[in-house]
Structures are given as C-alpha cells and as structure tokens.
Amino acid sequence: MKRTTLKKWKLADLKVNRTLNFRKNYDLPSMIEQITQEGRILEPVHVEDNGDVLKGNRRISAAQLIVADPKSPQELVETLKNVDVFVYSDLTDRERTEIILDHGAQKTLGYEETVEAIWRLQHEGFSGREIMVLMYQLLAKYTGAPQKAVEAERLEPGSARDEFLSKWLNGTLNNKILNAGRMGGRVKRQFILAEIAKDRALTDVEKKEVEFEVNVKRIGKLRTAINADEEAGTWDMIEMTGPKFEEQIAEFKKEDKEPPARATSFSKEQMKEMAATMQNPGVKAVFLKCAGMLPEADKGKIAELDVRLQRQDKIDALNRANVDRIAVDEIFTGHQVKALVQGFLAGPVAKYESTLATFLSATPAVEETSVPNEKTEAAA
C-alpha cells in the first residue's frame, strides 16, 4: 500500500462508489449545512488512485450537490471545485476495507449497517478476530458499551487487545451475528429486521415479514438442529434447510404467536426478601409496597423514583435523537460543557434541551432519499 502526502483533486473527478462501502443513510442535508456553514470541507478525503472515494463519501456527495445547485454561493462553489485528498495505490482488498471502516469522528454506521458490514466481511473471508479488530469501535455502539472501546484503545494493538476484544465481543459477534450469518437468507432476514427496528420504525411491509425472533439462545438451538440434520444426512446446503431445522423454526413461530405465560405471583415474604437485596431506596420501597410492608414515612420514595425515571427517559430520548448532530468540529468553552453536565444531572428537561441545542449543528438529521440505487452505502 502506498499513500501520497496531501494533494488537490478535482471534485468532479471523484467517484462515490457505493458498491465499495457500507452506508445506507448518508444524511446529506446535514452535511450540506455543515459544509455551507464552514465554507469548505474541513477534513481531507481518502481516495484510491482511480478516483474512488474510500473515506469521505458523505462529504463528497454533499459537495457535488452544492456545486451542481445554481443557488449555491459562487465563492463556495469555487472553493469546493478542488478537494484536499490523500491518494492510495497498490491496495489489497483487506487494506481497502480497513480504510473504509476507519470512521474516526465521522457519523457511525447504524445497527443494520453494522450487521450487514460484518456479514460482508464474513463472506469475504475475514476471521472473527479480524472483524473484531476492524470493527470494535462500531461494535461498542452496537452493544451499548462505548467505555469498552475506550478501554480497548488504551491497549497496544496485538495479543493484549485481541484477548480483551475476544472476552468482550465473542458472544455478540461469534455466537450471535456471525452464527446468524451462516444460517441462510431466511434467518438472516429475520435477524436484520430486528436491527432495522433499532434504527427506525418498520414499514407496514417489513412488519408483515417478521415471522420469529432471532436471539443468541435461538441461534444456538438452530445450530444444534443443523448439526442433527448434517449427521442424519438430511441437511440441504444449497437451500439451507433440513427437517430438524424446519421443526425448530416452526417451534419459534408457535412460541412467538402464543401470548406470554402469566407470571407466578410472589408471596409477601418473597417480596420482602427481594426488597432486602435492592440498593436503590425507591426500588426497595416499590417491593415493600407490593408486600404491604411499606412504612408511612417511605411512601414518598416511590413518587420520587417515578419522577426521576420519567425525567431520565426524556433526557435519554433527547440524547439518542441528537448525538449524531453534535458539532464535533466546534470549540466549546468549559462553562458551556459545565452547563450541559449540570443540566443533564438535574433541573427541568426543557432547560437541558435548550443547553444541548447550543452544541448541535443547525440542521436536524434527515434520512436521505433522493439518491438512487441505495444498496450498499459509503462509510463517511
């Protein structure tokens, strides 16, 4: 692999090659807004020597739309006609993939995009260990454990980091995502529908496709069924089916259609015992209330817990909705950061929302729908 020093490349000659990359939602309106506000593309783009953009596809797509728009300021158009780039040559397939997946501080992939990217690497022959090394930053978001990525980053690349990643991600990556990727299109589709639902609401058509839930436990059962079919010589590798496999799927469908069993009632003594194990005063009070043993003086703790959890739900919803809009290229003062943290910890939700707004880019994230043939999108 060879990489040039920083050089200029004509914007018109750069190609956004969506078959190379992993993104489905470019969110171009917010990127256009960012480039327009800054008056330029802030960070260099990484391209192959044939002009294919490897890293920076959102920026180039947005810039090309700005230049093509007759309403765009002429000074901005002239600035964007030439772009700062690093140019790569003599890339292997794996080196190309590593550059594409290096998102840095840019907009990360969604849940669906992350799983599809893992399955693509799996199909291209990457091992579980290699996928962990390439994608642990994205998997940190997928698993809801961003602190784990920070811990991994502190370790030197090599055996120590690999061991840490294996202990952390083996269940999610190998036992869940990669195993599901080996079970044929039907299981993969059910799996990916659940991931889409984490990114956005399913359409009516997608809702009709949902047949059964796919989770780690069920993937293990399907693996056992496949092994039984293979031993009996009844497993069809082409159609990815067999009698035991179909029997197991039918069982899942039946379980998911039947209403969940009603939970067994707990006795007062059991509720009291559970209360004794709780550390939060409000939760402890809830159990004692259910047991009919809540002291009069502690009744207010349940109301306090309800108010606090309700506020936290609203704060969490605000953070989830706006995290990708935080203007990472701005410089914020310590007073601004302190006000944001104070608003997060206490005070009215509306005040926190107004404080958070000072950290956001002007345009809300909007799903891009104007670009045709969005099968495999580029990573920003």
Please give the mean pLDDT across all residues of the chain.
85
Q: Is residue 339 domain-resident?
A: yes
3-state secondary structure at position 50: coil
Give dist(CA 53, CA 129) in Å, integer.
27
pLDDT at 350: 87
- Pairwise CA distance, residues 323 & 374, whole Å: 24
Q: Please say which residue of 235, 257, 279 terminates a domain.
A: 257
Question: Per-residue pLDDT for 21 more than 70?
Answer: no
Whether the per-residue pLDDT at 303 is higher than 70: the answer is: yes
Greater confidence (337 vs 235) lies with 235
pLDDT over 50 (residue 373)? no
For residues 164 and 202, state if they share a domain.
yes
136 & 245 share domain: yes
Are residues 226 and 325 both part of a single domain? no
Is residue 228 domain-shared with residue 148, that is, in the same domain?
yes
Residue type, position 3, single letter: R
Q: Is 105 part of any domain?
A: no
Residue bearing tokens 């209403």: 259
The predicted structure's pLDDT at residue 22: 67
Q: Poorest-confidence range of 179-183, 214-218, 257-261, 351-355?
A: 257-261
In this structure, the answer to whether residues 274 and 249 fall within a common structural domain is: no
Give the per-residue pLDDT at 183: 92
Classify 144 in phi/psi space as left (phi over 0), alpha (psi -120 to 50) or beta: left
Specify the pLDDT at position 369. 36
55: domain range? 2-94
Count of beta carbons in the 10 Å neighbourhood of residue 30: 22
Largest CA distance in the chain: 76
Instruction: Quote the number of domains for the chain.
Output: 3
Give residue 2's pLDDT: 84
Distance (Å, whole) CA 294 – CA 319: 35
| Helical pair 281-290 and 268-277, crossing angle rounded to 10 deg | 170
298 and 223 co-located in one domain: no
Domain co-membership, 76 together with 154: no
